[in-house]
Each structure stands twice: as C-alpha cells, then as structure tokens.
Amino acid sequence: MLLPAFCLSAALALLSLSGPAFAGTPRKPPPSVLGPLACMVNTHSSVLRDLLLTSPIVSFRYAPGDIAGTSPEGRANAMNVFVYGNAGRKAILMTAIAGHGGWHVLDDYYVLVQAGQGGTVVDGNGGQATYAAIAAFANEKGKLPLNSIRRNRLHAANHCELH
C-alpha cells in the first residue's frame, strides 16, 4: 500500500510544478473583463508577442480600480490585467480605462518577474516609488484566481484606443 501513496504524492508534486509560478489554476474568465483584455491584447500586441510566443492561451489575473501609490489616482473605472508568460514567471501589467463607447488602454505597462515570495518590477514607466507600489499591488493581487482564454476568442467589441 505504500507504493500507491508514493505514486499519488509524486503525481501531485509534478502537477504543482506545471502551473504558473504566480500560483492558481486557470479558470474561465468573466465576461466583464474580456472587453478590456481584448483591447489590451490588440493595442499592446508587440509587447505581448515575446511574452506569449505562440501560445494559443492567454493566462491572466485582473483587478478593477486604481493602484494605490501611482498617479493619477481616482480611476474607479480602471481595469488592471496581469498577462502571464507561458512559464508563469513573467507577467505584464496593463491598465484600461472605460470611456465613451470603448476602452482607453494606457500606454504605460509594467513587466514583473517572480522573485522569491513575490513579484518585482523590472521594467515600466516611473521611478522607484511607482515600482514599489506596482510590486505591492502585484503581490497582493497574485492571490487572485488565475483565468485563461484562447487567444482566438478575444475580440474587442467596443472601440479601443491607446493612451
């Protein structure tokens, strides 16, 4: 009876290594985030190309509202999305603001990498205080469920603009 228990333990260990380092099992995304995500993928396609490579799946986490410690604050209608690379150790944080008839995707984005117990910002717009605020936001939101969708199912239904 020791052998089946060992096999189950080994299988669980292998499964835990196969998921993104930012943790969580991919699940179906809610419809409310698909519009901003589609706009982000369309407007930042060159940024995401190296991250996603040829993967047909987009894995992401999302958090509405503004990011404390960044400017400008007071963006209650913002949608922040972390798009994860295939290995899950790298993510890009993008923000879209709901506007008249569509989404305004901010030109600023942040590249984060998994480092120890949390993520750290390695590239983006702003100084050390902004990077610290983004890293804190990423580490807090890294506990949210991981969502996934096939890339070919992302279609921006509304107007998208890069700001």
- C-alpha 10/C-alpha 23 separation (Å) is 19
Residue 135 pLDDT > 70: yes
Note the pLDDT of residue 26.
60
Range of lowest pLDDT (11-25, 55-69, 116-130): 11-25
Residue 3 DSSP SS3 = helix
Of 25-39, 44-58, 83-97, 144-158, the poorest mean pLDDT is in: 25-39
Position 163 confidence tier, pLDDT thresholds 50, 70, 90: confident
List alpha helices for the chain, DSSP H.
Answer: 2-18, 31-43, 45-52, 128-141
CA nearest to 78, candidates 137, 120, 26, 135? 137
Phi and psi at 141, nearest 5°, equal -80, -10
Supply the pLDDT for residue 31: 75
**Which residue reads 């999302």 in tokens?**
62
Is residue 91 a contact partner of residue 112, using CB atoms and an 8 Å limit? yes
Residues paired with 83 in a beta bridge: 60, 92
Quick check: 7 pLDDT over 60?
A: no
Question: What is the C-alpha to C-alpha distance for residues 51 and 38, in angstroms, rounded to an integer?
Answer: 16
Q: What is the mean pLDDT of the chain?
A: 79
Q: What is the reported pLDDT for 29?
A: 74
